[in-house]
Structure 1
């Protein structure tokens, strides 16, 4: 009589246990996490529609045509990079993003350590 040799079973990976752990972590963080309380309905937020927008005093303004202004005077990117290691740019809304990226890159190559873009932020 010949007996069949059974193949040794390979151990299964514990994927069910992993799924259970991930699910328990999800439930834990949902319960333990804090959710921001809604704003009190009696609070009326300040409206800033009528305010005049101004650039920070140490920021350079980038016009829609790509020219730079610092303190109201025209300046080159190389001269702007020499004003300090951290530069702030206030770009015009109509300035193409590719030109802003190119300008930022040229400022970094000219010696600026950091280039910050100052934008307008509003509550929705």
Structure 2
């Protein structure tokens, strides 16, 4: 029984010390509310519509042209903003095509939902 009391006491001491390490936020601080921000894709990202059409900077392009243009600019990390209703297999095919065109990494830009 004494061993159990010692363990509980040590846990209590640990939690008291660990809890005071992080400084509390100032009382009058108001944090930014991100739910009212307008969402925009990164300027170097290509948008993939539901039907598979690729748009870069608002103009339709082919996957090869997008890859060639971004790689010529020195960006070997390419970004895609797919439509929610784009079939997953089509997205995988587009990513494979970008990798074969020379992209070292393809990032999918998605919306983070707050729950």
Q: Normalising by structure 1, report the TM-score.
A: 0.60
Deviations 1:43-84 (A, max 9, x none): 876444443321111111111111111100111111111122
Separation in 1 of the partners of 2:66 and 2:46? 8
Q: Is the radius of gyration larger for structure 1 or structure 2?
A: 1
Deviations 1:16-49 (A, max 9, x none): xxxxxxxxxxxxxxx79x89x9xx8x88764444
Count of residues in Structure 1 that have an aligned counterpart in Structure 2: 90
Q: How does 1:106-117 map to 2 (within 5 A)?
A: 106-117=97-108
Q: Which structure's relative contact order is higher, taking Cα pairs within 8 Å and 6+ residues apart?
A: 2
Please, which runs of 5 or more residues in structure 2 have no aligned partner? 1-10
Q: Normalising by structure 2, report the TM-score.
A: 0.64
Question: Which residue does the alignment assign to 1:103?
Answer: 94
Please, which runs of 5 or more residues in structure 1 have no aligned partner? 1-30
Whichever structure has more helix as a proportion of its residues is 2
